[in-house]
Every structure is written in structure tokens, then in C-alpha cells.
Amino acid sequence: MLLLLPMNGDDTQESELVSINDALFWATVEVDEGKVVEINFYKERSEIDGWFDAIIVTGNYEPVMEFIDNQMMVLVAHTQRTIDDIVEAYLFRELHDLAL
């Protein structure tokens, strides 16, 4: 499973999830068999190639139509902000579907 996250920095421990419009970096998080395999940070989303299973956003009113058009699942992390918290919430199915 490959996740895409808009982040406010490029530190795996200190950076936090932010609104798509406020993203300073984009993190890709590969999760396999319940474990994080790899985390990469990119300054621009255009630098990222490939298919993502889901994008994680901070709320229901994010500009996500581009991702939906590309058949990506959009999940909302209402309270989780760090990568560790988001991955844990993802694994335990605590992230919410986007409410349209």
C-alpha cells in the first residue's frame, strides 16, 4: 500500500500532516504487512511518479477532485498529524472516508 501525505516538513518524526494547499513537502509512505517499508519526501508533487493507493488529508473540504479522478482513495485524518500516528490509524482502520 502506497500512501501520499501533504506535510509541513521533511522530518519523519517531527513533520505533521497539513492541508494540501499548505504542503511544503509531500511524503510517500509504503506500508507492507503492517509495517512501514519506506518513507520518501518530495518538495513538489510533480516530482512523484507512480500510482498511489490513497491520499491522506486533514479534512473533508480539501481540493481532492484530481485524486478522485485518478481513482485514488481519499482518507481523512481528523486528529492524527504525525506519520506514525497516521500509519497506525490506517492499519487499525481509524481514518475516515471523505464525506462529500
Provide CB contacts within 8 A for 32, sequence distance 6+. Answer: 1
Q: What value does the mean pLDDT of the chain take?
A: 95
pLDDT at 79: 95
pLDDT at 82 over 80: yes
CA 92 to CA 100: how far, in whole Å? 23
Percent of the chain with pLDDT over 90: 94
Number of domains comprising the chain: 1
Q: What is the CATH number of the domain that holds 53?
A: 3.30.420.130
pLDDT at 100 over 80: no
Residue type, 22: D
Provide CB contacts within 8 A for 36, sequence distance 6+. Answer: 29, 30, 83, 87
Using alpha carbons, select from 46, 78, 14, 48 the residue that is nearest to residue 29.
Answer: 48
Residue 44 is given by DSSP the state: S
Domain hosting 85: range is 2-97
CB 72 within 8 Å of CB 91: no
